[in-house]
Amino acid sequence: MAAGHLSSCPRLWKEAEALHAQGYRIAIAFMQSVPQISEFDQVFMKKHREWEFHIFDWNDPSLRSRTIKYVSIIRCRWERFLNRFRSEAKQNALAMQHSAYALWTLIADAQANLFIVHHPAGLAAVAKRAAQLGVPYGYDIEDAFAYVRDGEFIENPDRLIYHTEKKYLPSAAYLSSASPMYISLYREQYHLEQEMITVLNVFDTGREPAPDVYKDRRSPAALSLYWVSQTVGMNRGLQDVFQALNVLNRRDVELHIRGRHDADTREELMSALEHEALRAQVFFHDALPASELNARNREHDVGLALELNASLNRSYCISNKIFEYMSAGLAVIATDTLGQRAVLADHPESFFLYESGHIPALAAHIAFLADHPEALRNAKAHALHLSEARYNWTQEQVPLVAKIKALLG
C-alpha cells in the first residue's frame, strides 16, 4: 500500500515485481492526485495486467469518490481538533493527512496473506485489517517519516507520526529500510526487537548503449550536469549549483533539471544567475515515466544529489537519485550527509562529496570533471561497474524475498 502514486514509489513496484517473480499474487492499493503522474501510473499498470490495482483518485468526479474525498477531509480536520484533547497514546491517525480515511477505504475489505505498507498514513489501517484477518504485515521505512519536514530532529518529531509508528510497529512482522541509518534510529526510538532489513533503493543497470541522438543535452563537448526528481522546488539544494555556475562562468558546462515545475520556480532559480549568457546553458525538462527515464539519464555526465541537512531525515537518507545516476553510468556529485557518505565515501574516483552550501568546493568538483575528460570517463565507467557488481536490484531484493518466503512459506 502506498499513500501516493504508484509510479512515484519505485520501492513498492520493485518489491511487487520481485514477489510476483516468486509466484505470489499481487494487489496494490494507492492514491492518485496529479493527472500527469496518473498517466505514468497507467503506463505501468498496462505492463502488469495480471496484478490487482485498488485506486482512489482524488480527482474522480463520481459521486462515490467525491463523497469519500470530502468525508476524508472532514474526518481529518475533526480528528485534528479532537487530538488536541487526547493523550499522545490515543492520537487518531486519521488526522495525519486529508487522504488518510480515503486510503483506509481501499483496504477495509481487502483479503491478503501479507500486507506491506509504505507510509505511516496507511499504517493504522493496515495493522487493523491484518489483525482482523490474522495475517502478518510489514512496514517499509523509505524515509524517517517523523523527521521529514525541515527542522524536525530527535527532540521535535512529528508527534502524530511518531506515536502512530510507536503504537503499530512493534506488531509488524518485519521492517525494511532504505538507509542503514534508519535502522539504529528506529530501534532506539521505538525499542523494536523484530528483524529489520536494509533494502537500498537501487535499480538494475540499463543494458542499452548510450543514445546516438540527444534529446536533452545540447553540446556533446560540454560537461552535462543533471538533476532529476519528481518535483523541482526551492528546498532541494539546487541553489548551490546555480551559485557554482556563477563562480565558474564557463560556456562548456550545461545544467539539466528534470521534474514537475512551474514558471515561478523556474524563474526564481534562473534569477540567481549573475551572467546573462549562463541562462542559455540551463535547461528544464518535464518528468518522464520510469520506462523512458533511464535512456534520458544516460545522455548526461554528472548526476547531482544535493540533499540538505535541514532535518534528521535529510541527513540520514540516501537519495534515490544516486542509484539512478549510478545505473545510468554517471559520475555523482553529492552533498556530504551521513546517509550519502555511507554509500559514496569509499569510492572517491566516481563520487565527489562536498558540504552543502560550500560553493567553492562544488565549483572545484565541476571544474575538475570539465577539465579532465579521462577522469570523467573513468568515473562514469566505475559508477556503472558498481551498479552492475553491487548496487542493483537483482542483488538487493534477496534478503527481502527471503524474509517474505519465511513468513508465507
| pLDDT, tens only, 60-104 | 999 999 999 999 999 999 999 999 999 988 999 999 999 999 999
User: Does residue 198 share a domain with residue 286?
Assistant: no
Pairing of strands 351-354, 302-305: unpaired
> Residue 179 domain-assigned?
yes
* Cβ pair 260, 286 in contact under 8 A: yes
What is the separation, in whole angstroms, between the first and last Cα of the chain? 22
In terms of residue numbers, what domain contains 46? 6-202+394-408
> What whole-number distance in Å separates Cα of residue 35 and Cα of residue 40?
9
User: Does residue 188 share a domain with residue 283?
Assistant: no
> What whole-number distance in Å separates Cα of residue 237 and Cα of residue 254?
17
> What whole-number distance in Å separates Cα of residue 257 and Cα of residue 261?
10
User: Does residue 140 share a domain with residue 83?
Assistant: yes
Q: Which phi and psi (to 5°) does residue 117 adopt?
A: -115, 140
> What whole-number distance in Å separates Cα of residue 226 and Cα of residue 305?
9
> What whole-number distance in Å separates Cα of residue 104 and Cα of residue 72?
9
* Cβ pair 140, 404 in contact under 8 A: no
User: Does residue 256 share a domain with residue 190?
Assistant: no
User: Does residue 241 share a domain with residue 172?
Assistant: no
Q: Which phi and psi (to 5°) does residue 407 adopt?
A: -75, -40
> What whole-number distance in Å separates Cα of residue 296 and Cα of residue 213?
10
> Residue 79 domain-assigned?
yes
> Residue 210 domain-assigned?
no
> Residue 1 domain-assigned?
no
> Residue 211 domain-assigned?
no
Query: How far, CA to CA in Å, does 144 sit from each of 177, 237, 332, 356?
Result: 9, 19, 24, 20
User: Does residue 179 share a domain with residue 31?
Assistant: yes
User: Which residues, at least 6 apart from 78, have a Cβ–Cβ distance to it below 8 Å?
Assistant: none
Q: Give the residue ranges of the chain where pLDDT is below 70.
A: 206-211
pTM across the whole model: 0.93
> Residue 207 domain-assigned?
no
- As for how many domains the chain has, the answer is 2
User: Does residue 276 share a domain with residue 127?
Assistant: no
pLDDT of 78 reads 98
Length in residues, the chain: 409
In which residue are the cell numbers 543533471 written?
Answer: 226
DSSP characters over 258-327: EEE--HHHHHHHHTT-SSGGGGGGEEEE----HHHHHHHHTT-SEEEE---SSSHHHHH---HHHHHHHH
Name residue 303's amino acid: G
User: Does residue 67 share a domain with residue 124?
Assistant: yes
User: Given 3-state DSSP classes, what are the helix, strand and coil percentages for the chain, each rounded to the nearest 5?
Assistant: 50, 15, 35
223: helix, coil or strand?
Answer: strand
User: Does residue 230 share a domain with residue 109?
Assistant: no
User: Does residue 332 share a domain with residue 314?
Assistant: yes
User: Does residue 398 share a domain with residue 356?
Assistant: no
Helix (H), strand (E) at residue 42? helix 35-47
> What whole-number distance in Å separates Cα of residue 136 and Cα of residue 145?
22
Reference 216, options 274, 303, 275; nearest CA is 303
Neighbours of 19 (CB within 10 A): 20
Neighbours of 116 (CB within 10 A): 25
* CA dihedral for 82, 70, 109, 125, sign (positive or negative): negative
pLDDT of 209 reads 63
pLDDT of 205 reads 83
Is 169 exposed, middle or buried, given 0-12, 13-18 or 19+ CB atoms closer than 10 A? buried
User: Does residue 402 share a domain with residue 372?
Assistant: no
pLDDT of 245 reads 98
Q: Which phi and psi (to 5°) does residue 76 adopt?
A: -60, -50
User: Which residues, at least 6 apart from 156, have a Cβ–Cβ distance to it below 8 Å?
Assistant: none
> Residue 215 domain-assigned?
no
* CATH, residue 349: 3.40.50.2000
> Residue 149 domain-assigned?
yes
